[in-house]
Copies of this chain bind each other. A is one copy, B any other.
């Protein structure tokens, strides 16, 4: 086992049984009767990832003394929605298709990715309609629509260096924190009632998800593709002005600002993220962004200290640590 999977196994230990059930549900759902679809869901299934969102459903349930037989299903549904968003994130526009020609299956990729994502969403909603309570359907359809709005806004605010920190956080919150938040709230509240602790865990999940997104944005600027295990520097490439860059831009002189804008927009620049680090000192921006992420994590931790001590609560506290240490 790698160090990383050892950490995950330890963190998820309090809900080991639930995670195993969740994975079985997920497999059943991905295993569609049509061969054509099965090929693709098998492929998606291999991208299993951390399954952190599913684990949060179960851990928040345990930590707030609220676990039902249906929690594993709820966790699988949350994970399927996350998978659908991942699949749809891979849709490229024309320019990118050309730029990334080598790694894209030309005749196939976009259309099938759209349909596969749609299939995963539909299956997730379908499964949620079989639950005994409507809370999961309601909360997750709201969350999904919020998530899309966040992504659309992000897309329309590309190359916008005047974005305020509040706008950045609103958008990052909608696109990332909303699903974390729904996962935590569902864990604490499903099938219903439990409003107080549900609200608490909802806020816990929101701050955790927002911190996660900020750190993700920091890493996209600082890590190499090998360290990250996915393409680095893509935010600058895609015109996304993330929190570290906003901080640097805000306090830069007009010359540096122009240079930053140029790096994002001028034609023919090969490695925009590296070039960005050359035209300005990203250090203060990166540090300020990490400070903000750590403040959010501190708020997270304070929220759950009021819960009774339990292995699940300990795991949640450890998750917040690992996220700040960039190990999750």
Asked whether A114 is an interface residue with its Cβ less than 8 Å from the other chain, the reply is yes
Q: Which chain B residues lie closer than 8 Å to A128 at the CB level?
A: 141
Residue from B37, B94, B118 in contact with A94 in the complex, judged by beta carbons closer than 8 Å: B94
Is B126 in contact with A88, judged by CB distance below 8 angstroms? no
Query: Which 3 pairs of residues, A with B, have the shortest CB-CB distance?
Result: A126-B141, A94-B97, A122-B145
In the complex formed, the residue of B with least CB distance to A90 is: B114
Distance between A251 CB and nearest chain B CB, rounded to angstroms: 27
In the complex formed, the residue of B with least CB distance to A175 is: B115
Q: Which chain B residues lie closer than 8 Å to A104 at the CB level?
A: 94
Q: Which chain B residues lie closer than 8 Å to A181 at the CB level?
A: none
Is A118 in contact with B88, judged by CB distance below 8 angstroms? yes
Q: Which chain B residues lie closer than 8 Å to A110 at the CB level?
A: 91-94, 110
Distance between A136 CB and nearest chain B CB, rounded to angstroms: 9
Asked whether A156 is an interface residue with its Cβ less than 8 Å from the other chain, the reply is yes
Asked whether A142 is an interface residue with its Cβ less than 8 Å from the other chain, the reply is yes
Number of copies: 2
Q: Which chain B residues lie closer than 8 Å to A144 at the CB level?
A: 118, 121-122, 125-126
A-B residue pairs in contact (CB < 8 Å), sample of 16: A37-B149, A88-B114, A93-B107, A94-B106, A94-B110, A95-B106, A110-B110, A112-B152, A119-B152, A121-B121, A126-B138, A126-B144, A129-B134, A129-B137, A129-B138, A129-B141
Is A91 in contact with B91, judged by CB distance below 8 angstroms? yes
Q: Which chain B residues lie closer than 8 Å to A156 at the CB level?
A: 36
Asked whether A155 is an interface residue with its Cβ less than 8 Å from the other chain, the reply is yes
Which of A91, A95, A145 is the most central at the interface, judged by chain B CB atoms within 10 Å of its CB? A145
Is B152 in contact with A116, judged by CB distance below 8 angstroms? yes
Give Cα A119–Cα B40 distance, bound, in whole angstroms. Answer: 23
Distance between A20 CB and nearest chain B CB, rounded to angstroms: 25
Asked whether A199 is an interface residue with its Cβ less than 8 Å from the other chain, the reply is no
Q: A77-90 interface mask toward B, CB cutoff 8 Å, 1 = contact, 0 = none?
A: 00000000000100
Q: A98-114 interface mask toward B, CB cutoff 8 Å, 1 = contact, 0 = none?
A: 10010010111111101
Asked whether A2 is an interface residue with its Cβ less than 8 Å from the other chain, the reply is no
